[in-house]
């Protein structure tokens, strides 16, 4: 399907225009953008791009995924780290996805959240997210924040994106690192579906800064703490790999030597844990820090 952007549609977001013209949800439109099913004059596929009059968009509508329905999953038990009338923070287990991406997906943190806090189901704009203000990759454990009202959700999204917000991760990486390092390299999207990070390039690169501090040296690895304000796609994993110290158990960014170390240490999952999030409370404005206890491998 070809969309010609006229004067009436000028200024609309790319994802919203695709959704409106093709009869899709925003989630479906964004999936098409991420999956390479869209071509746009001018090249940029950023979902928030404001379209100009005279531009064109070509969409392979047949690639649109089926709608995903988030269902309560009371059988999934999550440890609640913090709750008030506006927010909930839970400790996500590593193997559990944050929210469903496919119609046939199994248990997720979002499904468990709405089973316990039903109001979270209508808090986020995308109903499959169950009020989540952000997400953690499958394999990453730790702090996951959700809102209980739409007002709190908008505030949470803004607070998580503010420069004052600090996210701290623990990671076990291949090899021995210096005492401290700082990576300040932009991250763009790459891979066949745009789901991989490309340090220093890729599509629509954005600034990204990660501070890395050595916590403990081990025989073939190092336990490090990574701090960041931004939250680009796979930022911690990609920046650590860029330094030559991939996260153990990383099936995407680990090189051959890192895979050999992971095999020798019998690593059975991604050694990455979202240790804490420090932000301004999105409703009260007071400082808030939520911390998740470290997993066994990080002790």
pLDDT digits 0-9 by tens, 58-81: 999 877 766 667 889 999 999 999
Q: Was domain 167-274 assigned CATH 3.30.2350.10? A: yes
For domain 66-161, the CATH superfamily is Pseudouridine synthase (3.30.2350.10)
- Asked if 55 and 41 count as a contact pair (C-beta separation under 8 A), the reply is yes
Average pLDDT rounded to a whole number, residues 82-111: 91
Query: Is 137 in the active site?
Result: yes
Neighbours of 134 (CB within 10 A): 19
Q: Which of 15, 40, 9, 11 is nearest to 27 (CA)?
A: 15
Lowest mean pLDDT across 8-12, 261-265, 280-284:
8-12
Average pLDDT rounded to a whole number, residues 147-154: 97
pLDDT at 190 over 90: no
Q: Which of 51, 59, 53 is nearest to 23 (CA)?
A: 59
Integer Cα distance of 55 and 72 in angstroms:
42
Integer Cα distance of 132 and 147 in angstroms:
6
Confidence at residue 62, expressed as pLDDT on a 0 to 100 scale:
79
Catalytic residue among 6, 126, 137, 255: 137
Q: Which of 228, 230, 225 is nearest to 272 (CA)?
A: 225
Q: Which of 56, 59, 130 is nearest to 97 (CA)?
A: 130
Average pLDDT rounded to a whole number, residues 149-171: 95
- Asked if 51 and 21 count as a contact pair (C-beta separation under 8 A), the reply is no
- pTM for this entry: 0.80
Q: Show the tokens assigned to 217.
A: 């040296």
pLDDT at 109 over 80: yes
Q: Phi first, then psi: what are they for 92, rounded to 5°?
A: -75, 125
Confidence at residue 103, expressed as pLDDT on a 0 to 100 scale:
62
Task: Work out the mean pLDDT of the chain and round it to a whole number.
Answer: 92
Q: Do 66-161 and 167-274 show the same overall fold?
A: yes
Average pLDDT rounded to a whole number, residues 153-172: 95
Comparison of pLDDT for 102 and 212, the residue scoring more: 212
The pLDDT-based confidence of 194 (bands split at 50, 70, 90) is low
Average pLDDT rounded to a whole number, residues 92-108: 85
pLDDT at 282 over 90: yes
H-only helix segments in the chain:
14-22, 26-34, 109-116, 150-161, 235-242, 256-264
Q: Which fold has domain 2-63?
A: 3.10.290
The pLDDT-based confidence of 128 (bands split at 50, 70, 90) is confident
The pLDDT-based confidence of 195 (bands split at 50, 70, 90) is confident
Neighbours of 158 (CB within 10 A): 14
The pLDDT-based confidence of 104 (bands split at 50, 70, 90) is low
pLDDT at 166 over 80: yes
Confidence at residue 8, expressed as pLDDT on a 0 to 100 scale:
79
Integer Cα distance of 220 and 226 in angstroms:
19
Domain spans in the chain, listed from the N-terminal domain onward:
2-63, 66-161, 167-274
């Amino acid at each position: 399907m070809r969309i010609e952007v006229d004067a009436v549609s000028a200024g609309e977001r790319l994802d919203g225009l695709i959704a409106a013209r093709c009869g899709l949800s925003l989630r479906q439109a964004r999936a098409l953008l991420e999956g390479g099913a869209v071509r746009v004059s001018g090249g940029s596929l950023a979902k928030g791009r404001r379209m100009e009059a005279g531009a064109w968009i070509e969409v392979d509508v047949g690639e649109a995924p089926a709608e995903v329905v988030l269902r309560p999953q009371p059988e999934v038990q999550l440890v609640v780290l913090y709750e008030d009338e506006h927010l909930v923070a839970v400790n996500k287990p590593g193997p559990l996805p944050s929210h469903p991406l496919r119609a046939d997906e199994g248990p997720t943190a979002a499904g468990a959240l709405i089973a316990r806090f039903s109001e979270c189901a209508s808090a986020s704009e995308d109903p499959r997210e169950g009020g989540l203000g952000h997400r953690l990759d499958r394999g990453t454990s730790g702090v996951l924040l959700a809102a209980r009202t739409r007002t709190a959700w908008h505030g949470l999204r803004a607070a998580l994106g503010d420069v004052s917000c600090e996210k701290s991760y623990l990671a076990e990486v291949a090899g021995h690192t210096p005492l401290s390092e700082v990576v300040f390299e932009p991250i763009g999207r790459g891979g066949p579906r745009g789901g991989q990070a490309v340090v220093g390039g890729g599509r629509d690169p954005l600034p990204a800064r990660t501070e890395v501090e050595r916590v403990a040296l081990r025989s073939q690895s190092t336990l490090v703490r990574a701090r960041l304000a931004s939250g680009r796609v796979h930022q911690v994993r990609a920046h650590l790999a860029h330094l030559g110290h991939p996260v153990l158990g990383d099936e995407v960014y680990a090189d051959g030597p890192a895979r050999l170390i992971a095999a020798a240490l019998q690593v059975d999952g991604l050694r990455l844990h979202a240790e804490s999030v420090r932000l301004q409370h999105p409703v009260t404005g007071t400082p808030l820090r939520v911390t998740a206890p470290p997993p066994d491998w990080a002790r």
